[in-house]
Amino acid sequence: MAGEPQSDCLFCKVVTGEIPATIVRESDTTVAFRDINPQAPTHVLVIPKAHYRDAAALAAAEPGIAADVLRESGLVAADEKITDTGYRIVLNTGSGAGQTVFHAHAHVLGGRGLQWPPG
Ligand code: 5GP
Ligand code: ZN
């Protein structure tokens, strides 16, 4: 069923604690943790606790939780003190765009100069 935990999903296992992660924030509906392979001094992933394959599927089914992910992303940036210098929230959607984990997640990247457009 939509939103239910998936036994083969890496980020569902982060939610349950089965896979350890450096958690920096948690809310009723979301978890934020450091990326294992950081691409910037701050690189945090914000995920819904419920399983949806990507951010668009999450927003279609649970717009309130999608908003929670965005709000928590902004709070991560504030915690990390990267709001003044600027930061990026990235939602890779589909393997052609670099999505490798099919549990919705927002990347929060900052602490260095970020080029636009990205590669
Ligand atoms: P995607 O490429 O799907 O947009 O992002 C997936 C992200 O998850 C990548 O940046 C990758 O480094 C990160 N990642 C993959 N496996 C793990 C893990 O086991 N723990 C953590 N903390 N991050 C992971
Ligand atoms: Zn999942």
Is 106 among the domain residues? yes
CATH number at residue 25: 3.30.428.10
Is 91 among the domain residues? yes
Whether residue 114 has pLDDT greater than 90: yes
pTM of the model as a whole:
0.98
CA-to-CA dists, residue 103 to 14, 55, 86, 114, 117, angstroms: 11, 8, 26, 25, 25
Is 3 among the domain residues? no
Domain region containing 26: 10-110
For residues 22 and 26, give the distance between their C-alpha atoms in angstroms, rounded to a whole number. 11
Mutate to test the pocket of ligand 1, among 13, 101, 102, 109 (most ligand atoms within 8 A of CB): 101
The pair of three-digit structure tokens given for residue 69, joined into one six-digit string: 């992910």
Is 1 among the domain residues? no
Distance of CA 109 from the midpoint of ligand 1 (Å): 13
Distance of CA 24 from the midpoint of ligand 1 (Å): 15
Report how many domains make up the chain.
Answer: 1
Interface predicted TM-score of the whole assembly (ipTM), two decimals: 0.99
Is 27 among the domain residues? yes
Is 4 among the domain residues? no
Residues around the ion ligand 2 (C-beta < 5 A):
6, 9, 11-12, 51, 103
The per-residue pLDDT for range 20-59, each reduced to its tens digit, is: 999 999 999 999 999 999 999 999 999 999 999 999 999 9
Query: Is-catalytic flag, 105?
Result: yes
User: Checking DSSP bridges between strand 42-48 and strand 30-34, what pairing results, if any?
Assistant: antiparallel
Is 39 among the domain residues? yes
